[in-house]
Amino acid sequence: MSPSDIAKVLLSKNCVQLSTNPPFTYASGLKGPIYCDNRLLWSHVDARLKIIEAFKNICAQKSLEFDAFCGLATAGIPHASILAWELKKPLMYVRGSSKGHGKQNQVEGDVRPGMKVLLIEDLVNQGKSLGDAIISVKAVGLEPIGCLTIVDYETSGARAVLKEHDLALHSLTNFTSLVESAESEGILSANEVAQAKSWQANPKEWEILS
C-alpha cells in the first residue's frame, strides 16, 4: 500500500484529528494542530491487518536483517507483538523509564548483548521518544538497525535524532500524505491545511505564529 493508501486507512478510522484552538500538546511538550491516535487501529481488525501487512512488506522489500522486534511503550508494543508472532521473531519492548521495583528494567525481554533489534513505533513526531529508546536499548548492549513507524511527521527535529544515531526510519505514511488526503476528502479546509503546514515547517515557533 502507498503512503496515500495508509493515510486514507487512518482517516477512515478517525485516527487523525485537527484543531487549532485549542491545539494539541505532544509528548515533547510542543503544541500543534494535528493529532494522530493510532491506538484506534487496535479495535478495527480490517485496518489493523492492512497496517501489519504493510509493515511485513517493508521488512521484505528492504531485506531488513535483525534478531528481534522491540516495541516502544506503549503504542508500538501491540504492533511489535503481532509482527513477532507472524514472522516468528523474538519480542522485546522498551519502557519510557526504568521500573521502580523488581529488577528495574527499562528494556523487557530476553536481552542478549549484540542482538540486532528493529524498533517499532506508531508515530514519530519530534523524535524525542525514539531517541530515548535508542539510547536505552544501546545501554543494555542491543544494536538498533532501524525503526518501523506508521506515521512520520517529517520534522527537522526527528531528522536530527535519526542523523545523530545513524538510524533508518521506515514509515508507512507521513505528514504530507495525511494532510493531502484529508484535504482531498474534504476533511480539512484550506485554512486548516495552511495551519498544519506552518506547524510542520516550524514546530517550535508555531504557537507564537498561529
What digits encode the pLDDT tens for the residues 132-175? 999 999 999 999 999 999 999 999 999 999 999 999 999 999 99
- The band of 129, judged by pLDDT with boundaries at 50, 70 and 90, is very high
pLDDT of 99 above 60:
no
% helix, strand, coil for the chain, step of 5: 45, 20, 35
Domain count, the chain: 1
- At how many degrees (to 10) do helices 77-86 and 45-61 cross? 70
Domain carrying residue 128: 3-209
Coil, strand or helix at 172: strand
Whether pTM > 0.85 for this model: the answer is: yes
CATH of the domain at 125: 3.40.50.2020
Q: Contact at 8 Å (CB) between 123 and 147?
A: no
**Chain position carrying cell 522485546:** 92
Predicted local confidence at residue 207, as pLDDT? 65
